[in-house]
Amino acid sequence: MPEAPKTQNDNLSEKNKKTLEFIEDVTCNPDDVQQRVLSDILTQNANVEYLHRHGLSAHTDRETFKKLVPVITYEDLQPDITRIANGDKSPILSSHPISEFLTSSGTSGGERKLMPTIESELGRRSLLYSLLMPVMSQFVPGLEKGKGMYFLFVKSESKTPGGLLARPVLTSYYKSNHFKERPYDPYTNYTSPNETILCQDSFQSMYSQMLCGLCLNEEVLRVGAVFASGFIRAIRFLEKHWELLCHDIRTGTVNPLITDPVVQDAVLRILKPNPALADFIESECSNKSWQGIITRIWPNTKYVDVIVTGTMSQYIPTLDYYSNGLPLVCTMYASSECYFGVNLNPLCKPSEVAYTIIPTMAYFEFLPVNDQEQAKDQKPIDLSEVKLGQDYELVVTTYAGLYRYRVGDVLRVAGFKNKAPQFSFICRKNVALCIDSDKTDEVELHQAIEKASSHLAPFDATLIEYTSYADTTTIPGHYVIFWELSAKGSTQVPASVIEDCCITIEESLNSVYRQGRASDKSIGPLEIRIVETGTFDKLMDYAISMGASINQYKAPRCVKFAPIIELLNSLVVSNYFSPKCPKWVPGHKQWNKIKIDD
Ligand code: AMP
């Protein structure tokens, strides 16, 4: 008997089945897969200068590789990266041409790190994305029947002196044909037309994406953004602009603030006059309480898809409030260097999220991290050797030409899928403050504060102690610095001087922070809170009462523990905000200098 023609649903479930089989396969024998991946990478790149420099010519085995090639950080790679950025096209790191640089949100010397990438990495990234929905649909059926309302954005890009593009990994992905020309797939059916995502102007992009999401409210089955901070910013945008948005929905016209004709056309394909919907949204948004606003406006939403692991966990209470406790789903773990893994149990609690590293993505090693932080003397071990409950720093060797590169993330083995370990994300090393994608470490903060405090000298005032925290109760969140001053002079330090200190700190921070403040508006103005004399003594007393050693006590440069923040806040005598945005221009400081000198 001839086979009945397959329906779209049969095709989908077959595709899902194949994807899940792939995951089963690679997790059953991860060590074999890893050995093959390393051998592939080393065979492909046998002729590259970097490997020759370390004496590895034709060897593709794990033992020789580990013996000869050192474990490195970005700083070790900087001279090679600079050569590539300046136009050296010889095979330095990869035998394939470097197609562009991905600008990481990790910084080096205050500037974004530049990660080389090659064309074929886009395929690997797409593969990881293609695993997410088949996994999800095991837990939430029927997602193919509606749309996802995802707030996705591109950021500005620049060119290196040698002419290579430098841009964030997601900008690169959204602008690629893998995303723009994706064939129809019910799982990548978003409310935001591509044109609205690809619009460079962040206001127009957000406005048009929100407008489309509102028009299609009944069809939305899942909502999200990449990071929790981005999704909360979208809700805040709605809070500010719902009247304009409702006007557009009522009349079927696009606000003149949307000047990009391509975006206008894309929105007008969706927007039709709908007074009933406008009335409904108006009545929900004018309600004093915004609790559960997501489930009220998008009533069929099953979950919120955002990363809330790592520093983003600070946003969980706000998301719970807006979503009335819908599941917060963290689907994947990735970076500019490499996409790493997926969460195979996506409906678990945020605190229980563990990512299964997909062993085909790169060759992974793990540097044990113990209490004494003796990582230097430790040797990295393989994926198949990690132990349950242990912490490791992730080290990658990629197809694009990073060899034994320390990513800077600390992961803990939380369990196993078949023979593949699953990791919970513990932290990014050396990050003191973070609001969005910014990552500010203690050293950088210290230098910025030292510079700013020099403004106090004319008033015979000095900074005795400081600490800081990321205040995410404001939207967008902002950095708060607590200052205890000793003022010997007779004149008080004027408010304008402390405000100057705020902006000086901001100007001294890394480019990711300044971009967040000046361009993306994802970070609010930095605040200095002056605390009363003796505050840091009280902080020490508190820490000692909690068991800290009196001999070893140092004032923390960053605080996260709520009772300590409460104590500090109770001792604030005045507070000041940065009066303007710090300067930020796209592209590296060095390249900009070249341009100016030219
Ligand atoms: P970037 O280099 O700017 O692409 O940022 C990548 C970094 O973001 C990673 O190395 C992690 O520190 C962080 N990150 C990415 N995905 C996750 C996740 N699912 N949970 C926690 N942190 C993440």
Write down the pLDDT at residue 371: 59
Q: Is 350 in contact with 330 (CB distance < 8 Å)?
A: yes
Residue 394 is predicted with a pLDDT of 98
Beta-ladder partners of 342: 332, 356
Instruction: Give CB contacts under 8 A, 24+ apart, made by 190-193.
Output: 190/147, 190/148, 190/149, 190/150, 190/152, 191/147, 191/148, 191/149, 191/150, 191/215, 191/216, 191/219, 191/220, 191/270, 192/149, 192/150, 192/151, 192/152, 193/266, 193/267, 193/269, 193/270
425, 431, 441, 520: residue to mutate for ligand 1 pocket, most atoms within 8 A of CB: 425
Q: Are 140 and 302 in contact (CB under 8 A)?
A: yes
Q: Which of 333, 361, 437 is the pocket-test mutation for ligand 1 (most atoms within 8 Å of CB)?
A: 333
Report the residue among 117, 231, 329, 335 best suited for mutation to probe ligand 1: largest number of ligand atoms under 8 A from its CB. Answer: 335
Which residue is associated with the tokens 């009247």? 243
Q: What is the dihedral of CA 174, 178, 184, 187, to 10 degrees?
A: -70
In 256-323, the DSSP E strands lie at 303-307
Q: Is any atom of ligand 1 closer than 6 Å to the C-beta of 285? A: no
Distance between Cα 315 and ligand 1 center (Å): 16
Q: Say if ligand 1 is within 6 A of residue 30 CB.
A: no
Q: What is the pLDDT of residue 45?
A: 96
Overall average pLDDT of the 278-292 stretch: 98
Ligand 1 neighbour 169 (Cβ under 6 A) = yes
Atom of ligand 1 nearest to the CA of 437: 3
CA 364 vs CA 353, 368, 383, 488: distances in Å: 20, 13, 6, 56
Q: pLDDT-derived band of residue 7, with 50, 70 and 90 as boundaries? A: low
Ligand 1 site, residue 439, Cβ cutoff 6 A? no
Least confident of 405-419, 465-479, 480-494: 480-494
Judge whether 256 and 281 are in contact, CB under 8 Å.
no
> What does the buried/exposed string (b/e) look like for 423-449 if buried means 16 or more CB atoms within 10 Å of the residue's CB?
bbbbebbebbbbbbbbbbbeebbeebb
Which residue puts its alpha carbon closest to atom 8 of ligand 1? Answer: 335
Among 147, 190, 186, 187, which residue's Cα sits nearest to residue 301? Answer: 147
pLDDT at 423: 98
Euclidean distance between CA atoms 328 and 302, whole angstroms: 10
pLDDT tens, 194-246?
Answer: 999 999 999 999 999 999 999 999 999 999 999 999 999 999 999 999 999 99
Question: What average pLDDT does the segment 3-7 reach?
Answer: 61
| Predicted local confidence at residue 547, as pLDDT | 86
Closest Cα to atom 13 of ligand 1: 335
Does the bond joining 476 to the residue before it have cis omega, within 30 degrees of 0? Answer: yes
Out of 409, 422, 435, 512, mutate this one to test ligand 1's pocket (max ligand atoms within 8 Å of CB): namely 409
What pLDDT digit, counting tens, does each position of 94-150 carry? 999 999 999 999 999 889 999 999 999 999 999 999 999 999 999 999 999 999 999
* pLDDT, tens digit (0-9, with 9 covering 90-100), for 503-521: 999 999 999 999 999 999 9
Distance between Cα 190 and ligand 1 center (Å): 23
Q: How much distance in Å is there from the Cα of 308 to the middle of ligand 1?
A: 11
DSSP element (H, E) containing 363? strand 363-368
**How remote is the CA of residue 338 from the centroid of ligand 1, in Å?**
10
- What is the best residue among 342, 428, 512, 515 to mutate for testing ligand 1's pocket, by most ligand atoms within 8 Å of CB? 428
The alpha carbon of 57 and the centre of ligand 1 are apart by a number of angstroms equal to: 33
Position 345 pLDDT exceeds 80: yes
For residues 211-230, one letter each, b for 16 or more C-beta atoms within 10 angstroms of the residue's C-beta and e for the rest, the string is bbbbbbbebbbbbbbbbbbb
Q: Measure 544 CA to ligand 1 centroid, in angstroms.
A: 34
d(C-alpha 172, C-alpha 152), whole Å:
12
> Which residue has the CA at smallest separation from atom 6 of ligand 1?
335
Two structure tokens written together for 551: 């001999």
